[in-house]
């Protein structure tokens, strides 16, 4: 089933006013408001956020992508352990993934040591966690559909006679 056009617009820009959304979708502002309120109530819309460029904002936090291999639990699979991991304050996102690892966990910390402490003291000590592999974010090019830098112009070397 295709995603509702209103949800598609909200994914691209959550700051549209109800009037702007109504105009774009040929609806009334009241129809937009009712649909959004219903989605917020039933959990379809969990929240709204801005995509921030940390360099422009002066944010010096460190982000890491952690692959986690776990032992699935009888009757619960990966869900209970994944939810336990997701509840840590340092965890920004937690996904069940295919491939060599079971979970992909996105973590933020004040510096590299904060992330290392989280992995060694909290994550890897959980019963059921078999192994982890940590990858630090070095630079962001695109996040949630937003490019972080304009494409650099093509620079050509001057031709010497």
Residues forming CATH 3.30.70.920 domain(s) in the chain: 54-138
Predicted structure pTM score: 0.81
**145, pLDDT greater than 90:** no
- HSE, side-chain direction, 13 A CA sphere, residue 77: 5
Q: Give the domain 54-138 fold.
A: Alpha-Beta Plaits (3.30.70)
| Residues 145, 158: Cα–Cα separation, whole Å | 36
Q: Look up residue 3 and give its two tokens.
A: 């995603």
Q: Look up residue 157 and give its two tokens.
A: 């070397």
| Residues 108, 58: Cα–Cα separation, whole Å | 15
Paired strand residues for 54 = none
Per-residue confidence (pLDDT) for residue 1, from 0 to 100: 47
| Residues 65, 114: Cα–Cα separation, whole Å | 14
- pLDDT tens sequence across 21-74: 999 999 999 999 999 999 999 999 999 988 888 888 888 999 999 999 999 988
**2, pLDDT greater than 60:** no
Burial of 82 per CB tally in 10 Å (0-12, 13-18, 19+): buried
Strands 103-109 vs 146-147: parallel, antiparallel or unpaired:
unpaired
Q: Look up residue 105 and give its two tokens.
A: 């966990």
CB 60 within 8 A of CB 128: no
Question: Is residue 144 left, alpha or beta, with left meaning phi > 0 and alpha meaning psi from -120 to 50?
Answer: left
């Amino acid at each position: 089933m295709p995603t509702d056009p209103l949800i598609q617009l909200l994914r691209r820009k959550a700051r549209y006013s109800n009037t702007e959304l109504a105009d774009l979708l040929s609806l009334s502002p009241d129809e937009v408001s009712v649909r959004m309120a219903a989605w917020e109530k039933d959990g379809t819309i969990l929240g709204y956020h801005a995509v921030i460029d940390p360099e422009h904002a002066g944010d010096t936090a460190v982000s890491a992508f952690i692959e986690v291999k776990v032992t699935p639990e009888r009757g619960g699979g990966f869900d209970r352990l994944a939810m336990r991991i997701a509840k840590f304050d340092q965890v920004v996102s937690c996904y069940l993934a295919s491939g060599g690892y079971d979970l992909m966990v996105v973590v933020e910390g004040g510096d590299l040591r904060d992330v290392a402490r989280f992995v060694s003291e909290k994550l890897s000590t959980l019963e059921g966690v078999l192994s982890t592999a940590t990858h630090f974010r070095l630079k962001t090019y695109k996040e949630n559909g937003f490019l972080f830098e304009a494409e650099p112009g093509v620079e050509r070397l001057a031709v010497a006679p």
